[in-house]
Structure 1
Amino acid sequence: MTGKQIRLKRLFKHSDRLFIAPMDHGVTVGPVQGLTDMPLMAGLIRAGRADAVVVHKGLVNQITDCLGANGCELIVHLSASTSLAPDPNRKELVSSVEHAIRLGATAVSVHVNLGSAGEPAMLKDLGMIADSCASWSMPLLAMMYVRDGNKESEYDPAKIKHAARLAEEVGADIVKVNYTGSAETFAEVTGAVKIPVVIAGGPKMSSVNELLDMIEESTAAGARGVAIGRNLFQHPDPARLARIIRQILDQKPLRQRSEKIAIINF
C-alpha cells in the first residue's frame, strides 16, 4: 500500500462514502455566520462524525483538538480569491503541498473555475500541484466548477462531466462538482471517471429536506460522498444535521422519514 493509499484510507474513515465539511469560506467572503468561532464549529462537525474538514493553512492551529484519528482528517486548501477582487473567479495558489505536510494534512485541495478568464492559469496550477502530490504521496481533491458567466452552465451535465474527467486526467484523486439536479444525469458524471466524485453543498438551501434529498439522489447515482459547507455550518444544530448526513451516506435507515426534517428546518 502506497502512502497515498494510506492517506485516502484515512479520509474514508467511517465508510466507503466521504463526508467533507469545507470551512475555507473566510478567505472568500470573510467571517460569515458559523465561522466566527472555528474551534466551536470544528468540534460540532467532529461530533457529527464528518470525515474531514477543509481549511486554509492559517487556521489549522485553531482546530487541532478536533483533528486526528479520533476526530476529523485535515484537508488544507491551497488556492484562494476574494469576493472583493475584480475577478473573484481567478484562484491563486497561496500554499504548497510541502507546507500542508508540515501541518499534518491528510490531503490538499485546489479550486478551478472552468470557462473563466483565469482558466489556463488555474489548470496549470492544478497540474503542478498534482505532480507535487504524486511526489509526496498526498491525495488531491480537485474542486471543479463551471463559471463561464452562464448560471445554467454551473449545473449542465455535459459540462460537469467534462470538469470531472479533466480533474481525473490532470491527476486528481477525488473530484468535487455541483450536483446536476437529477440522479439520471448525475449518473453520467460518476460514470465518466474512475476516481471518487463528491457533490458540493452549493448555496444555502431553503430546507433540510431539500439538502438531504440531494444527498440521497446523488449517492444513488454513484456519488462517493459530499462536501457540505454553509448548509452545515450555518444550520442551528450542525452536529445533529451532520449525524443525519452520516447516516444517509452510510446507508443506515432513519427511524422514520420525519426524522430528516423534525426540528432541524432552516
Structure 2
Amino acid sequence: MEFEVVELSDSGKERRLGRLCSVDDGRYVIVALDHSLTMGPITSADNFDKLIRTVAEAGADAVIMHRGRAKRAIGQLGEMGLILHVSASTSAGVHGDAKTAVGCVDDALRLGADALSVHLNVGSDTEPTQLREIGELASACDRWQMPLLIMAYPRGPQVTDEHDPQRVAHAVSVAVDLGADLVKTNYAGSVAAMSEIVATSPIPVLVAGGAADGRSIEQIGDDAIRSGCAGLAMGRQIFESESPGEVVRSLVALAHPKRSQSVR
C-alpha cells in the first residue's frame, strides 16, 4: 500500500504575518512601545491608552509591547497587529546589554498576539546566553507557527560604532540564521550601505528609530524605503513626539503610498 506524503505548510505563520501588514505590499509600520521595562514609564497610564488609540487611528500596522501592558491594551488595538516582546533588561542594572527571556510562545498564544519579539545584542558580554535563549524561542515559534521578530543590534564592549555597515550586516545575518521571520536593526548610515545589507537578507529588514540623529522622521523613513527595507519599527521618535499621530501618518504615507490615509 502506498501512502501519500503530506507536507505541512506554514499557513498559520503566513496568516499571522499577514495580520501584521495592513496592505498587501510587504511593508510594515510598527510602533515599538516596549521601552518602559528598560527605561521606566514613557507616559501616564491614561495617556498610554490614548497613545495606543492614536497610533491605531493613524494607521500603524502593529505595536510591540511587553506582556503586562499588552494584556491591558487589547481593547485599544483596533485592527493593529500585536507583537509580544519577551526580552528584558533595565537601565538600572549593571549590564544593560544583557537581555534575558521573560516570556514565551505560550504567552503570545494566550494573548492572541500575531508575533513574538526578542532582542539580541551581537557582541555583548552575554551574547552566548542570548543566542541560546533565542534559539530555543525560535524552535518554539516554528512548532506553533508563530512569526518571530528579532531586534538585532551590534552592541557590546568591542563595538565602537553600532551603525557600522559590516557590523549591522552581521547582526542581520545572525537573526536570519537563528530563524527570524523579520529583523529590526540600526540604519547603517547611508542608503547605499543599507541597500547592500538588505540584499544579503532573505527576510524583511525593518529600520529602528532610536535616538534622534539630526534627520527628520520623514528623512529616516524615506531613506529606509529607498534602501529596500520592508518598513520601520520605531518607538521614541513616536511616543516622545508632541504629535504621535502625525508622525505615524507620515511614516504610513512613506511605507504605504497607495493606501488611503483615511482613519481606519
Contact kept in structure 2, 1:52 and 1:73, CA below 8 Å: yes
Give the Cα separation in 2 of the matches to 1:214 and 1:133: 31
1:58 aligns with 2:68: yes
C-alpha change, 1:182 and 1:152, in structure 2 (3 Å) is: farther
Number of equivalent positions: 249
- Structure 1 CA distance for aligned equivalents of residues 232 and 37 of structure 2: 21
The alignment status of 1:105 with 2:83, answered yes or no, reads no
Render the CA deviation track for 1:40-79: whole Å, top value 9, x for unaligned.
1101110110000000001123211222xx4211100011
1:136 to 133, 144, 150: 144
Q: 1: CA distance between counterparts of 2:233 and 2:45?
A: 16
- State the SS of the aligned residue for 1:13: coil
Identity of aligned residues (%): 35
Report the 3-state secondary structure (helix = DSSP H, G, I; strand = E; otherwise coil) of the residue aligned with 2:200.
coil
Kindly state the Cα deviation for residue 35 of structure 1 after the two structures are TM-superposed: 7.1
| Segments of 4+ moved more than 3 angstroms | 33-36, 149-152
Q: Deviations over 1:222-259 (max 9, x none)?
A: 10010110101111111121111100111359xxxxxx
User: Can you give the 5+ residue segments of structure 2 that lack an aligned partner in the other structure?
Assistant: 1-9, 260-264
Residue aligning to 1:9: 18
Aligned mates of 1:51, 1:109 — CA distance in 2: 15
Question: Residue type matched to 1:229 in 2?
Answer: G
CA distance in 2, matches of 1:92, 1:117: 12
8 Å Cα contact 2:97/2:156 also seen in 1? no
- Asked if residue 232 in structure 1 is aligned to residue 238 in structure 2, the reply is yes
Structure 2 vs 1, CA of residues 156 and 29 (structure 1 numbering), >3 Å: closer, same or farther? same
Q: Which amino acid aligns with 2:48?
A: M
Q: Does 1:31 align with 2:41?
A: yes
Residue number in structure 1 paired with 2:7? none
For residue 246 of structure 1, what is the aligned residue in structure 2? 252
Give the TM-score taking structure 2 as reference length. Answer: 0.90
Matches within 5 A, 1:61-80: 61-67=71-77, 70-80=78-88
**1:33 offset after TM fit, Å?**
4.2
Q: TM-score, normalised by structure 1?
A: 0.89
- Preserved CA contact (<8 Å) 1:173 1:195: yes
Q: Does 2:226 align with 1:216?
A: no
**Per-residue CA distance 1:182-207 (angstroms, 9 max, x = gap):** 0000011101111000000111455x
Q: Distance in 1 between matches of 2:180 and 2:131?
A: 12
**Corresponding residue of 2:196:** 188
Q: Deviations over 1:78-108 (max 9, x none)?
A: 1100001110100111111111110110001
- Structure 1 gaps of 5+ residues are 254-266
Per-residue CA deviations over 1:102-146 (Å, capped at 9, x if unaligned) read: 011000100011111010100111111110000000000000011
Q: Could you say which residue in structure 1 is the equivalent of 2:153? A: 145
Aligned partner of residue 154 in structure 1, secondary structure: coil
Corresponding position of 1:258: none
Deviation larger for 150-159 or 138-147: 150-159
Deviation at 1:150, TM superposition (A): 5.6
Q: What secondary structure, in the 3-state scheme, does the structure 1 residue paired with 2:211 have?
A: coil
TM-fit CA distance, 1:173: 0.3
Q: Is the Cα–Cα contact under 8 Å of residues 217 and 247 in structure 2 kept in the other structure? A: no
